[in-house]
Amino acid sequence: MAEHKTVIPCLEAIQEYVGRTLGPSEWIPVSQQRIDAFADATDDHQWIHTDPERASRESRWKTTIAHGYLTLALTPRLLDRILQIDGCSSAVNTGLEKLRLAAPVPSGSRVRMRAEIRDARAMPRSGVRVSFAVRIEVEGGTKPALLANVNYVYLP
């Protein structure tokens, strides 16, 4: 399926998109190399993430799985693939609420994002705070890997 990108013409128009569904993005691979790089960056080398041989024997998934925080870390990239806001010089991630890691992301699988603009409100100096409900899906999975409400401030 092709990627569906929503283009918002200006910061002032974001409010008109509240309730709009964004995406889905294209599928992106979650390779063992990506998982290992994340483990190196975070010093989280738990075997369920980094030891394919052991995981094939002992893991309930019979393979390594991505760190939940790696899945979360894909959010900015995937959101950028499904949303463009013209007239915006920068976007600042200001936090998240209600993070749920509902299913594993097996090594070698592919993920994509769907999102919804839940709320938008003007900020001082012309910025806009936007809350998104995001959903990261695993190709062939029966439930999402990640559900969260993420917040950004977009600046002119």
Report pLDDT for 2.
57
Contact call for residues 118 and 89 (beta carbons, < 8 A): no
User: Is the pLDDT reported for residue 3 higher than 90?
Assistant: no
Q: Is residue 137 part of a domain?
A: yes
* CATH at 23: 3.10.129.10
Give the domain extent around 110.
6-31+73-155
Number of domains in the chain: 1
User: What is the tens place of the pLDDT at every residue in 82-128?
Assistant: 999 999 999 999 999 999 999 999 999 999 999 999 999 998 877 99
What is the rounded distance in angstroms from the CA atom of residue 69 to the CA atom of residue 47?
16
Q: Is residue 60 part of a domain?
A: no
Which region among 1-10, 124-133, 143-152 has the lowest average model confidence (pLDDT)?
Answer: 1-10
What rounded mean pLDDT belongs to the chain? 95
What is the rounded distance in angstroms from the CA atom of residue 43 to the CA atom of residue 59?
20
Q: Which position has the token pair 């309730």?
A: 19
Q: Is residue 80 part of a domain?
A: yes
Q: Is residue 142 part of a domain?
A: yes
pTM of the shown model: 0.91
pLDDT band, very low/low/confident/very high, at 10 (cuts 50, 70, 90) = very high
Q: Is residue 37 part of a domain?
A: no
Q: Is residue 52 part of a domain?
A: no
Q: Is residue 82 part of a domain?
A: yes
Measure the N-to-C terminal CA separation of the chain; round to a whole number of Å. Answer: 32
**What is the helix (H) or strand (E) element at residue 35, kind and residue range?**
helix 32-42
Q: Is residue 68 part of a domain?
A: no
